[in-house]
A and B are shown apart, each in its own frame.
Chain A
Amino acid sequence: MGQSAETKTSEDVVELATFYVGDALCGMDIVNVQEINKHTEMTKVPQSPECVMGILNMRGQIVTIIDLGKKIGLSSTGLSADCRNIIVNSGGEYIGLLVPRLSDVVQADWEKVEQPPANIGGVQGKFFKGVYKTENSLIGILNVEEVLKEEEG
């Protein structure tokens, strides 16, 4: 509640949790983030969609881990010491996005967020809600629901 209260007071400012996917700096509204952990002992699920890394046990809940890089069409993340799972709650279940490296939490003025171009660093524009410019970088704000959409087929 504390966080959402904060964002409400300064209405148009959102806090973005940012992380790297490949070379691209991405972010998502920190309100969407349930937790960030570095569990890597996940169970593979044979025959699952390619972007799904596996499932893991988060305090009794089964969490689906999705390789964010692979999902949005970049290189596969692979497990390393720096990689983290960003756990979000979507549609009543927990889903983790595996990212190679975390970055800072950035305050962003929602008014300054621009429409995403058709393509950001090789990633389809549909995965982004917008683009935010900081002094020295560009943050693509992820459209979490779009990323978590299951593939048809």
Chain B
Amino acid sequence: MTIEMDETMQMYVEESQEHLADIENDLLAIEEGGADIDEDLVNKVFRAAHSIKGGAGFMGLTNIKELSHKMENVLGMIRSQEMVPNPEIVNILLLASDALRNLISNVTTSNDIDVTEHIEALISLAEGSLPDESKESISKMLDISFPGGQTVFSVAEYDISNARKGGKFIYLVDYDLIHDVHNKGKNPLDVLKDVEKSGIILESKVDIEGVGSLEDGELSNRLPFLILFATILDPTVVNALFEIEGDHIYELAEDLTTRLIDQASSQEEVVYKEAKAEAVEKADAKIEPETETEMPEEDELQRAAEEISPKEPEIKPIEQAAPMPSTGKQANGQTGSTVTDASLRVHVSLLDSLMNLAGELVLGRNQLLQAIESKDFRTIQLGGQRLDLITSELQEAIMLTRMQPIGNVFNKFQRVVRDLARNLGKQVELVIDGSEVELDKTIIEAISDPLTHLVRNSADHGIEIPDERLKAGKEAAGTIHLKAFHEAGQVNIEIIDDGKGLDGNMLAATAMAKGLITEDQARTMSDKEKVNLIFLPGFSTAKEVTDVSGRGVGMDVVKTNLDKLGGVVDIESELGKGTRVRIKLPLTLAIIPSQIIATGGDHYAIPQVNMDELLRIPARQIKERIEKVGDAAVVRLRGQLLPLISLNDVLGIEQTYIDPEDGEEKPERRERMADRRSKESPIEAESSKPEAEGSRLKAEGPSEAQGSKLKAESPEHTTHEDRREKRDRRFHAESAVNIVVVTTGALKYGLVVDKLHDSEEIVVKPMGRHFKHCKGYAGATIMGDGRVALILDVGNLARMAGLTSLEGTDRATEVAKESAEAVTAKKDMQSLLVFRSAEDEQFAVTLSQVERIEKVKAKDVEEVGGKRVMKYRGGSLPLISIDQVAQVKPLAEKEDLLVIVVVIAGKEIGLLAIGPVDAMDVTIEVDGATLKQPGIMGSAVIGEHTTQMVDMYGLAEALNPDWFAEQEAVQTSDGEVLTVLIAEDSNFFRNQVKGFIEDSGYNVIDAEDGMVAWDLLEEHADEISLVVTDIEMPNMNGFELTKKIKGDERFSHLQVIALTTLAGEGDIAKGKEVGIDDYQIKLDREKLMESIRNRLTH
């Protein structure tokens, strides 16, 4: 028998699935509680099973009703403490809930699925805990009939006697679906729910036989919907609950006879209604009352019947009315699973705000249309802005409707881990954090499988069996920590286990044996790279294929699946200690921020998640910085070699360049990147020598060797118009090499493109089936001008170019090692962004503060209300220049300005500057006294220039004090000021950090190194509440200090925040080991203060 889907059914399915979603974890919690029953929890599960049962009866889903009913019985016994929930019982319940879930997701065919096994198991469970004399009552069925003798329900004696407990009355209620439910604007499920609030529904069904058939000639005008209901309400008041006439409510007497409650209640009433009641009783007994004259005409009846979905006479369960055969077919075509995915619950308030925005949108459109009509440019502009705002808000609001908590996926792992641990004889505890983190629905659905695989892997291969663990000095029970959190606009998911970890060398050996890597490659790989070999296609470590994880699905599939979502997966492991798998996912797939580039005359988009930075190698540096290693080109980037791929080559686009002489696009002749515009080029030789000399001088110094990092468009990037000017020739966009540095998984490479454009938020559109062999694209998008741009899949591009992570890293490894040594040699390495404000004054900010660099025209800077702003990403960006606060030379009056965008106090602010800008890693001694003034922290000599370090925080505060509503300092319970100990060897940093911690209302004790800090700590043991320490210090470094603190029981409660200039992963791991609680970057005042606050309040 098939059952068709209609709205009511779909609603029922959704609700049931919601109920079922929690059952599993609740059951597990009940198991954990054992005899010590959490009544609320049991009640919750009981009610869930009960609600499922209630609806099922009405829908004619006999199997679901049966199964949920038996579950309910067992749960009822647990609730009344007649049964103790031991693991066996919970197991049977879990299996039953699995079966139930299966039934519900295949609801249309549920009646054909065999679940007798589960039902019998549950029955024997229930019988087992009953006294002998009442055992029979479970399987003994009693018939409930109308006074006229027609049997409506068949109910187990046990259920009846159970329901009567506590002096309850049992009623048989005879609703009429048409008049009592539908015509009153209700829904049958709602009726069930309402009634449930006051009692227990034992049975419910729609009585199809009662309707009669067309052949009978006398069509019944009611559609009986019967409920067997137990409640404490007595017969005199009960009809208020059902909101129907008393003549359709029967009371079930002890002897199982039924009688109308009207008769049962007071005598007068019976007399009063005598005449009518008699007639009605007669009619009801037959359940086929005569058509009364005032009843609706037949066509109206039919309409009503269609709307509330009656059934075809020969099929018992309620079904969708099929006025035309074709609609019936459509409904049949739907499968259970697609139906459940097809709808989504959205909070009404969200829907309201969407409606509001839609209204706004219409108004905005009207305004714009009117303005266009009247050709009023100003109003058009306003209208445009308004639409821009509304669109962004609308986009956000719609996004919200798609967001779902990741807990939906996480929660099922409790069960997965429990079952797995049972099977494998292990003890595993799953700790879940961040269930509330929300992700787009499509991503939630798609990560379920990869995550399951990873969690299974952790339980199967990671966690050892208890004996082994005890031998290794660990607790017998292993822990798998599953957590989700937001970071940098992405969602991070971590799966951490404290199992045996991965053996990098073994992995490397396996990979070599399988011919996946060469011996040379293996030798130069870092431990981390070796561990990440597990993601290579064709790699599987399980020595023997277990039933659990080794199902032929390797980690490479996990990686591929995550790649498809734009996610990144990374694995860290320490042999014997455990493994940490980290997944980064975008919040949504539908709209993604992307970098637009152009090559071969067409635009392409590169998703920003894949992008690290943009790099422009000026023409004069090409020879030095781009080299050929073997077949591949590499570029030197901050001491590392980065493999290069030319997008033109990979895609097979004909190379073109714009000839500076005649402005025509010509095919490129060069063969190697380094051949580009050699110094002998006639153009350069004859016309631009003087400038060339000059600019080379300017650029000399450490900056050139360190490389220039441009976060956004280069200031040298020229527009089409001035490309023709002779003096600019050396600096054509076209004569430099533009590189987009992208990462995909463990692989990082540079993609050489013709031109760099802006970043844009793009909407991903799928491409047609003819492109399924074009692996280089992730989709297409429509640009602002209506043209289509292709979205590049950087992972596949690398594969197409024959670049694997190993080749790339192989070459880079040695260089990386050297630079790592260099880093340890020079201690406090700083990443700085160097720029100018006046032509001859050099400034620097720490690179970590910088969000972006924008290029603007001076005329785009508007002055509004005494403040300078510019239009930026649909809003206004406040602008400042250093000379507004500090006594420095005024900002140069140039047409082209740079805006360095930083985020302070959660707001974006732009610092006006001029070029040349450069990013560099330098080791400098900052002088915090000589040039210190408001807005300037200090100075240092960088590249033979005295460079002033800009205090962005101070600048912003001086101009917008209201942004910094002082966060109150954390105090002790008696209101005393807390004391922080700072250990830092550099005077400059120590004073800076001390300064702003004091500003925030704490006492500070400072020390020049770890040794002094330790002495001070012992001296002021009672006062100090928190330690902030540098890592690299003479005498005793930060690690040693922390180790000492954490190892001493007097101080082990103290939280330690480490300050670094470069938070390297190695450092962080090492820091965690010795017990450092948090890492913060020096001079990132806000983050540090937030961290201090958080740690002190804990």
Contacts and interface: CB of A to CB of B under 8 A. Distances in A.
B462 interface: no
B866 interface: no
Contact of A45 (B766, B771, B786): B771
A56 B765 CA distance: 12
A41 to B, nearest CB: 7
A57 B774 contact: no
Contact of B787 (A41, A60, A94): A41
B772 interface: yes
A61 B786 CA distance: 11
A121 interface: no
Contact of A42 (B769, B771, B773, B788): B788
Interface stretch (A46-54, A74-82, A99-107): A46-54
B780 A46 contact: no
A93 B603 CA distance: 23
Contact of A62 (B651, B766, B774, B786): B766
B769 A91 contact: yes
A62 B780 contact: yes
Contacts of B670: none
Contacts of A45: 767, 771, 774, 777, 790
A55 B769 contact: no
Given A62-B766, A95-B768, A43 B788 contact: yes
Nearest to B769: A150
B548 to A, nearest CB: 38
Contact of A46 (B651, B769, B786): B651
B782 A47 contact: no
B774 A48 contact: yes
A46 B787 contact: no
B621 to A, nearest CB: 29
B246 interface: no
A150 B766 contact: no
B770 A66 contact: yes
B567 interface: no
A62 B765 contact: yes
Nearest to B763: A60
A44 interface: yes
Interface in B764-810: 765-774, 776-777, 780, 782, 786-790
B602 interface: yes
A60 B600 CA distance: 24
A26 B497 CA distance: 66
Interface in B405-463: none
Given A57-B782, A62-B780, A43 B769 contact: no
A150 B770 contact: yes
A64 interface: yes
B350 interface: no
A56 B789 CA distance: 9
Contacts of A49: 770, 773
A153 B768 CA distance: 16
B768 A55 contact: yes
Contacts of B632: none
Interface string A131-153: 00000000000000000001001
A144 to B, nearest CB: 14
Contact of B602 (A44, A60, A93): A44
Contacts of A55: 767-768, 780, 788
Contacts of A153: 773
Interface string A78-92: 000000000000010
B788 A64 contact: no
Nearest to B781: A62
Contacts of B766: 62, 93
B774 to A, nearest CB: 5
A63 B772 CA distance: 14
A143 B766 CA distance: 25
B771 A48 contact: yes
A150 B782 contact: no
B224 to A, nearest CB: 41
Contacts of A48: 770-771, 774
Interface residues of A, number: 25
A63 B766 CA distance: 10
Nearest to B600: A46
Contacts of B786: 57
Given A93-B769, A150-B769, A47 B774 contact: yes
Interface in B617-661: 651-653
B770 A52 contact: yes
A43 B789 contact: yes
Contact of A64 (B767, B773, B782, B789): B767
B84 to A, nearest CB: 56
Given A45-B777, A47-B776, A62 B770 contact: no
Contacts of B780: 43, 55, 62
A46 B771 contact: no
A17 B771 CA distance: 27
Contacts of B782: 57, 60, 62
Contacts of B777: 45
Contacts of A66: 770
Nearest to A66: B770
A62 B415 CA distance: 43
B770 A64 contact: yes
B606 to A, nearest CB: 15
Nearest to A49: B770
A14 to B, nearest CB: 23
Nearest to B601: A44
B770 to A, nearest CB: 5
A41 B774 CA distance: 21
A57 B782 CA distance: 7
Interface string B576-617: 000000000000000000000000101100000000000000
Contacts of A150: 769-770, 772
A39 B767 CA distance: 18
A56 B768 contact: no
Taking each of B602, B603, B651, B769, which has the highest tally of chain A beta carbons within 10 Å of its own beta carbon? B769
A64 B771 CA distance: 9
A11 B776 CA distance: 48
A19 to B, nearest CB: 21
A49 B774 CA distance: 9
A93 B768 contact: yes
B788 A57 contact: yes
Contacts of B789: 43
Contact of B767 (A41, A44, A56, A62): A62
A64 B768 contact: yes
Interface string A20-50: 0000000000000000000001111111110
Interface string B795-830: 000000000000000000000000000000000000
A1 B772 CA distance: 33
Contacts of A60: 782
A43 B790 contact: yes
Contacts of A56: 788
Nearest to B777: A45
A124 to B, nearest CB: 19
Taking each of B603, B776, B786, which has the highest tally of chain A beta carbons within 10 Å of its own beta carbon? B786
A43 B768 CA distance: 14
A109 to B, nearest CB: 29
A81 B1060 CA distance: 65
A81 B766 CA distance: 29
A57 B788 CA distance: 6
Contacts of B600: 46
A71 B689 CA distance: 54
Contacts of A61: 765
17 contacts: A42-B788, A43-B602, A43-B790, A46-B651, A47-B773, A48-B774, A55-B780, A55-B788, A57-B782, A57-B787, A62-B767, A62-B782, A62-B788, A64-B770, A95-B768, A150-B770, A150-B772
Given A45-B771, A55-B768, A150-B772, 14 more contacts: A43-B788, A45-B767, A46-B600, A46-B652, A46-B774, A52-B770, A55-B767, A56-B788, A63-B768, A64-B768, A91-B769, A93-B766, A94-B768, A150-B770
Pairs A-B, 5 closest by C-beta atoms: A64-B768, A46-B651, A43-B788, A62-B765, A57-B782
